[in-house]
Amino acid sequence: MLFAKGVKAGAVVALVMTSAVVSAGTFPDYGYQPPATYKGPLFELSQNYPTTLPSGPPPAFFKLLPAKLTNNFEQWRPYVDAVKQYCLEGNVENDWVVQKNTIRHWYHAPWQHYGPLGREGIHGLTKEAQIQSKQLASTQITKGQTFAVGIYNDVGGYTFGEVWKNPQDPDPSFTSKPNSFHDGTVVCKALFADIDLQQVPFLVNPVLWQAYITDTFDSANREIKNVALIQMDFAVRDSRVPGTGWIFGTFQYNGAVTGKPGWDNLVPVGVMWGNDPENNKDNYTNKQPTVTKINPTIMESAINARPELPPTHLGWNGRLNGPVDNPVSSCMSCHMTAESPQLSPMNPTFQAPDKVPPVGSKAWMRWFQNEEAGVPFDAAALSTDYSLQLAGGIANFYEWKCDQGGVFVGGGNACQQATNFRLKLMKSATPPAKVYKVERDPALNELH
């Protein structure tokens, strides 16, 4: 069943809400149910969030953090390899049904089911950005699309439970200064491509998932298709890291590594812990890669220089990014904008052409600062601490509430009735000065 704008009755029936502590079944599992011809298992949201902060030592890979945060990736390789194992063990053998993981607990972000990008019902994949021609390889001449599923470990899951403790009133103050996600939070995100595999050499021997997805990026029509594992991202909350308190990393699929399909074919692209705010040049941006252009002047990203990494575009001027990410952004630049309400776009190019600042200018570099954990991108908002899934879920929830017309005795909808500052701000025709009003349009996710 599709729970989308205009299908209010279905959404209301499916959305079983309580005002008590979050428990299994509170939030919908998915928004797009595959047709009856599909006979396999359906996605279930892992939502039994811990009600107390997990105790004990941080993940073992914390001991592998390099003594010096260097742009030499080989100093980071043991750490990154250990994070990869942490994300995969107990999940791969259970086809990412994380509730079956007997090694550690993992949880999903709620409210990803809603809207045109919402979760599909086979693997819980949400729709991400369009893949532009030649973005992945010089031989890739047709466009494609990306779908993804993210998971949070028990420390991160605890914070989600705090924010959503009252499912009718999410509270992002739990992730906004002086608060943030707790040390030891780990996020892992698997990304899959709907693309002509014959055009992308590194997708040989693919790991394939079935998913109920749109037939093209611009379409609303859905069908069951195979999608190929192309990337896996991670984020780790670690207050030892100066400037941001986070470490981000990404892996790229290369089916030539083992010669057979498997998650072991994920090779590191690199790791980053800052946005290099002083580096405003644009001489290494590489939107259509034939080689990987590693910029030696980028000091807060470390990129894998071994030939195991297929040619990839990286982020703006050589900062870290994955193959299906925006080549004029970076992992941390994009996630740094996570806030509630979302007052600024995720990238300076995601706005009207006359609003896009000159590349490398002071206004452009606003998206490439180092922002401490819990600090909102806009002063009028609350931070969701580098979690776009948390920010997007809250925005989806309020969009759903504000689309319910005439549900109050006194008239109006939740936004019109609001005494809640965040609700008023989301629907304000005059947002605070010096911030951008963001339209939630999937086309804004396209690369420019």
Please tell me the distance from the alpha carbon of residue 238 to that of residue 247, in angstroms, as a whole number. 7
Q: Which of 383, 335, 372, 429 is nearest to 163 (CA)?
A: 383
Given a cut of 90, is residue 376 above it in pLDDT?
Answer: yes
Given a cut of 90, is residue 441 above it in pLDDT?
Answer: no
The pLDDT value given to residue 401:
83
Cβ(235)–Cβ(187) under 8 Å?
A: yes
Provide the residue type at 367 as one letter: W
**Cross-strand pairs, 383:** 339
For residue 401, which phi and psi values (nearest 5 degrees)?
Answer: -65, -40
**What are the residue ranges of helices labelled H in 32-93?**
73-88
Mean of pLDDT values over 125-145? 97
In a domain, 3, yes or no: no
In a domain, 379, yes or no: yes
- C-alpha to C-alpha distances, 170 to 21, 222, 393, nearest whole angstrom: 12, 31, 10
Given a cut of 50, is residue 448 above it in pLDDT?
Answer: no
Strands 222-237 and 208-214: antiparallel
Split at pLDDT 50, 70, 90, the class of 399 is confident
Residue of higher predicted confidence among 416 and 112? 112
In a domain, 431, yes or no: yes
The pLDDT value given to residue 5:
31
Please tell me the distance from the alpha carbon of residue 111 to that of residue 119, in angstroms, as a whole number. 9
Q: Which of 398, 385, 393, 280 is nearest to 337 (CA)?
A: 385
CA 48 vs. chain centroid, Å, equals 21
Please tell me the distance from the alpha carbon of residue 289 to that of residue 323, in angstroms, as a whole number. 10
Helix/strand/coil for 107: strand
Q: What is the pTM of this model?
A: 0.88
Per-residue pLDDT tens for 143-199?
A: 999 999 999 999 999 999 999 999 999 999 999 999 999 999 999 999 999 999 999
Cβ(111)–Cβ(396) under 8 Å?
A: yes
Q: State the number of CA atoms in the 13 A half-sphere of 238 facing the CB.
A: 25
% of the chain with per-residue pLDDT over 90: 82
- C-alpha to C-alpha distances, 335 to 31, 264, 275, nearest whole angstrom: 24, 26, 11
Per-residue pLDDT tens for 3-48?
A: 333 333 333 333 333 323 344 469 999 999 999 999 999 999 999 9
Please tell me the distance from the alpha carbon of residue 112 to that of residue 397, in angstroms, as a whole number. 9
Per-residue pLDDT tens for 268-317?
A: 999 999 999 999 999 999 999 999 999 999 999 999 999 999 999 999 99
The pLDDT value given to residue 437:
36
In a domain, 2, yes or no: no
**Cross-strand pairs, 226:** 210
DSSP secondary structure code for residue 432 in this structure: P
Given a cut of 80, is residue 435 above it in pLDDT?
Answer: no
Provide the residue type at 332 as one letter: M
In a domain, 440, yes or no: yes
Per-residue pLDDT tens for 100-120?
A: 999 999 999 999 999 999 999
Given a cut of 80, is residue 405 above it in pLDDT?
Answer: no
Phi-psi region of 414 (alpha: psi -120 to 50; beta: other; left: phi over 0): alpha
Residue of higher predicted confidence among 436 and 216? 216
Cβ(317)–Cβ(279) under 8 Å?
A: yes
Please tell me the distance from the alpha carbon of residue 370 to that of residue 330, in angstroms, as a whole number. 12
Report how many domains make up the chain: 1
In a domain, 21, yes or no: yes
Split at pLDDT 50, 70, 90, the class of 436 is very low
Please tell me the distance from the alpha carbon of residue 159 to that of residue 164, in angstroms, as a whole number. 9
166-170, 335-339, 438-442, range with greatest mean pLDDT? 335-339
First to last CA, the chain: 33
Mean of pLDDT values over 236-253? 98
Given a cut of 80, is residue 359 above it in pLDDT?
Answer: yes
The dihedral of CA 255, 264, 216, 39: what is its sign? positive
Provide the residue type at 81 as one letter: D
Per-residue pLDDT tens for 190-224?
A: 999 999 999 999 999 999 999 999 999 999 999 99
In a domain, 1, yes or no: no
- C-alpha to C-alpha distances, 315 to 54, 139, 292, 375, nearest whole angstrom: 35, 20, 11, 23
Cβ(275)–Cβ(294) under 8 Å?
A: no
Q: Encoding tokens for residue 443?
A: 């086309």
Please tell me the distance from the alpha carbon of residue 205 to that of residue 258, in angstroms, as a whole number. 9
For residue 230, which phi and psi values (nearest 5 degrees)?
Answer: -125, -20
- Give the structural domain span for 383: 8-445
In a domain, 238, yes or no: yes
Please tell me the distance from the alpha carbon of residue 159 to that of residue 186, in angstroms, as a whole number. 12
